[in-house]
Amino acid sequence: MSLKAKLEAVIYAAEEPVTLAQLAGLFADDALELKAEQEAAAQAQAEEPTASEDASLPFQNENLPDLDADAGQDTVAEDTGGQEPGGDTPESALEGAGAPDASQEEAEAKRAARLRDREVRGVIKKLLDELIADYAVDGRGVEIREIAGGYRMATKPECHDAVRLFIKGLKPPLKLSLPALETLAVIAYKQPVTAPEVNEIRGVDASAVFGSLLARKLIATAGRKPVVGRPILYKTTREFLLRFGLKDVSELPSMEEFEKMAASELEEMEIAEPELAGGEATEAAAEFNPDISTETNIETNGNGANHQSETATQSTQAASNASASDAE
């Protein structure tokens, strides 16, 4: 998939405007790869005319290479000033060569990162401009707009009347209670299934829930089961597939997928619990006040002493009552 198609898909799927920084962070490698391919293609096109011109030149005389070699040797002798090649390097050059400073390396790394980010943003900005131009054609009903520092897909103003008519005919959003969702899930995975079988799986009576699901046309009857009493069988409907965005029932998540999701959520909870405990301990230490704690201890000790005295009094009364009953 091309980078341009990926940008289009992300902008379409996002509910909020997608910023250039977000796109650069997501597709940095793709943008650099695309730029390298474009530079290689441009270089190949530039080399083709040069190769054709070199092929059209006549062959040089055999004596010319010797003249060129002599001229090259004279030039080397003049540049070296009579010194033999391979001579000693001046001490000043050795003194000037030193190990690079750490701060200088860090500055160079930051400069390279900024340059890389600038290149990535340039490539993505160019593709976004192309997308905006493509969607600006009169034959399209949607466009890409720059909104609040980002990019978002929206309908064109001239199509607002048609969209308004469509929205008026939409059904209200589906809201199901937890018992209804549980019952619907059992029917979806076990269909066709009877009401007693659903109640046995859930462990509660779901008779009232069946009426709600039938009224919403999420389930329908599928005949009767050939057993004693001939209970009614239930199955999901096309409305169920439309509401949950499924092609058919086979696209429902399997039990292995549910187990993986549950395991991942459990791991996230286990990782989050120590962090929450550490944050609470830090807040408690930050809010610690010696004066308040001292007063609390005094009050606690006082309450403890009062509690002990009351307990002793109650014990004495119980002992006296016991002795009185023995005497009787």
pLDDT higher than 90, residue 233: yes
59 in a domain, yes or no? no
Residues 158 and 187 in one domain: no
Residue 80 pLDDT > 80: no
Structure tokens at 180: 């209804």
225-263 per-residue burial string, b: 16 or more CB within 10 A, e: under 16: beeeeeeebbbbbeebbebeeeeeeeeeeeeeeeeeeee
Domain count of the fold of the chain: 3
The CATH number of residue 198's host domain is: 1.10.10.10
| Statement to judge: residues 35 and 118 lie in one domain | yes
Q: Is the pLDDT of residue 243 over 70?
A: yes
Task: Report residue 273: phi and psi, to 5°.
Answer: -60, -50
Flag the least confident range among 12-16, 34-38, 148-152, 308-312. 308-312
Same domain, 133 and 12: yes
Mean pLDDT estimate for the chain: 75
116 & 22 share domain: yes
C-alpha 308/C-alpha 245 separation (Å) is: 67
87 located within any domain: no
Cβ contact 235:192 at 8 Å: yes
| Token pair for 10 | 């992300």
The least confident of 10-14, 164-168, 209-213, 302-306 is: 302-306
Going by C-alpha positions, the residue among 8, 16, 18, 24 that lies closest to residue 143 is 8
For 198-209, b/e burial (b = at least 16 CB within 10 A) is: bbebeeeebeeb
Q: How far is CA 229 from CA 15, 224, 225, 232, in A?
A: 52, 9, 9, 9
CA-CA-CA-CA torsion sign (107, 112, 117, 119): positive
Q: How far is CA 312 from its chain centroid?
A: 64
Q: Is residue 327 part of a domain?
A: no
Q: Are residues 137 and 278 in the same domain?
A: no
Q: Is residue 78 part of a domain?
A: no
Q: 149 and 234: one domain?
A: no
Residue 224: inside a domain: yes
Domain that holds residue 229: 178-252
My answer on whether 151 and 112 are in the same domain is yes
172 or 114: which carries more pLDDT confidence?
114
What percent of the chain lies above the pLDDT cut of 90?
25
More confident residue, 220 or 278: 220
Q: Is the pLDDT of residue 92 over 90?
A: no
130-139, 163-172, 221-230, 295-304: which has the minimum mean pLDDT? Answer: 295-304
Q: Rg (Cα) of the chain, in Å, rounded?
A: 41
In the DSSP assignment, the letter for residue 251 is: G
Residue 76 or residue 37, greater confidence: 37
Distance of CA 309 to the CA centre of its chain: 63
Q: Are 141 and 156 in contact (CB under 8 A)?
A: yes
Assess whether 129 and 276 both reside in one domain.
Answer: no
Q: How confident is the model at residue 299 (pLDDT cuts 50, 70, 90)?
A: very low
Average pLDDT over residues 241-261: 84
Identify which has the larger pLDDT, 232 or 102.
232
Least confident of 11-20, 124-133, 275-284: 275-284
Residues 243 and 204 in one domain: yes
Q: Mean per-residue pLDDT for 195-202?
A: 91
131 lies in some domain = yes
pLDDT of residue 236: 93
Where does 153-223 have alpha helices with state H?
Answer: 160-168, 178-190, 195-202, 207-215
Assign 51 a pLDDT band (cuts: 50, 70, 90): low
Has residue 294 got a pLDDT over 80?
no
Helix spans in the chain (H): 3-13, 20-26, 28-56, 64-80, 91-96, 102-135, 160-168, 178-190, 195-202, 207-215, 238-244, 255-286, 290-327
Note the pLDDT of residue 126: 92
Taking alpha carbons only, the member of 186, 147, 127 closest to residue 5 is 127
Instruction: Assess whether pLDDT exceeds 80 at residue 199.
Output: yes
Specify whether the CB–CB gap between 186 and 202 falls below 8 A: yes
What would the mean pLDDT of 267-278 be, rounded to a whole number?
Answer: 72
Asked whether residue 210 falls in the same domain as residue 236, the answer is yes
Q: Cα separation of 229 and 111, whole Å? A: 80
pLDDT at 132 over 60: yes
> Is 285 domain-assigned?
yes
In a domain, 102, yes or no: no
Question: What six digits make up the tokens of 83?
Answer: 């010194």
Q: What is the mean pLDDT of residues 248-259?
A: 84
Query: For 215-234, what is the mean pLDDT?
Result: 91
| Range 79-101 average pLDDT | 50
Quick one: pLDDT at residue 278? 60
Cα–Cα distance, 127 to 10 (Å, whole number): 13
Locate 193 and state its tokens: 């299934």
Q: Which residue(s) pair with 142 in the sheet? A: 155
Asked if residue 198 and residue 122 are part of one domain, the reply reads no
Q: Are residues 41 and 111 in the same domain?
A: yes
Task: Give the rounded percent of residues in the chain with a pLDDT score beyond 70.
Answer: 67
